[in-house]
Chain A
Amino acid sequence: MPKWFTPAAILCGLMFVVSPVLIARAPDESAMGMVYKIYYYHMPSAWMFLLAPLVCGFSSAMFLARDRAKDDRRAFAAAELTVLFGALTLITGPLWARRAWGTWWVWDARLTSSLVGWMIGWAYLILRRYGGPGSDKLAAGVALFGAVNVPFIYISVNYWRTIHPPTTVVPKLPVEMGVPLWFCVTAFLLLFILLLTMRVRLEEARTRLDTLYVALDD
């Protein structure tokens, strides 16, 4: 692991320990009350869920263009994080919606496109697992669709009728609500970088393992 990994991991752990304290001190929202505090973990998860397919799509495009294994490993790692953060977003969202909207789920543009993005992440992983030879290139193509879906997810709340809060909520947050949010976003971003590094490392170790098996067979 790189030298910065351990200090960054300790810092990230501390931030996750401190974050509930900051969230508890934040005031309740006037209409939704206490349940809106799901937002402090839901939104950073959702942002990482948008970041992961972008990393996956960009790395896949680089892999298709340059055919370098390094890009493919990064894309594979990011696809797994897409599924992880997508699952967290798609579970915490309905828990919040149940109280705030009175329903677990609505088939509006934001929720549906998020579900599609999550399923594209799964499609990538399933292709890599069961696709056989050449599946890396096929999966890279799927990843491009996943990346293209990201701007659609982001703007969907501003262009289509929905009960999901629009993107303008974040800049308008008062300081006492904004500070815990940006603290959590930083913690999640740091965690994302750490997990991506670890996952890429795992792929590197697997490649090394394959090389060793081949060398021992010869």
Chain B
Amino acid sequence: MTVMPTRVKQWTCAALVALCCAAMPAAAQPPQPQDEFKPVGNNPAPEQIPAAPLLIGAYIVVLGGLFFYVLSLSRRLGAVQQDVQRLEGELKRRNARTS
């Protein structure tokens, strides 16, 4: 059995590498031409997100949220202050009766 000389091995490897490199542009061929045209209705159209509803929605959320919180706080405060006044009146009347 004959052994391949080292120099031949080197040349063979170099040739293979060169072949691979040469094949790369061949592999990167342009895409196949379009063989049919499809109307846009058959494919989903690219997503179009309108800005205005999101913008207006955000402002409504902030202003509405703040308005309802202020309203809720005013009502809670008003109710508690009313109770305080009522109880203070009751306490005064009771103290007047006992004294």
Residues of A in contact with B (beta carbons under 8 Å apart): 16, 20, 33-35, 37-38, 41-42, 45, 84, 87-88, 91-92, 95-96, 98-99, 102, 191, 195, 198-199, 201-202, 205-206, 208-209, 212-213, 215-216
Contacts and interface: CB of A to CB of B under 8 A. Distances in A.
Main secondary structure of the interface of A (DSSP, over half): helix
Contacts of A198: 73-74, 77
Interface of B: 47, 49, 51-52, 54-55, 57-59, 61-63, 65-66, 69-70, 73-74, 76-77, 80-81, 83-84, 87-88, 90-91, 94
Given A84-B65, A195-B69, A38 B55 contact: yes
A174 to B, nearest CB: 20
Nearest to B62: A41
B58 A205 contact: no
Nearest to B94: A216
A92 B61 contact: yes
Given A99-B49, A205-B81, A216-B87, A195 B73 contact: yes
Main secondary structure of the interface of B (DSSP, over half): helix
Contact of A16 (B61, B63, B94): B63
Contact of A41 (B58, B84, B87): B58
Given A92-B61, A212-B87, A213-B87, A202 B80 contact: yes
A205 B61 contact: no
B54 A35 contact: yes
A37 B81 CA distance: 40
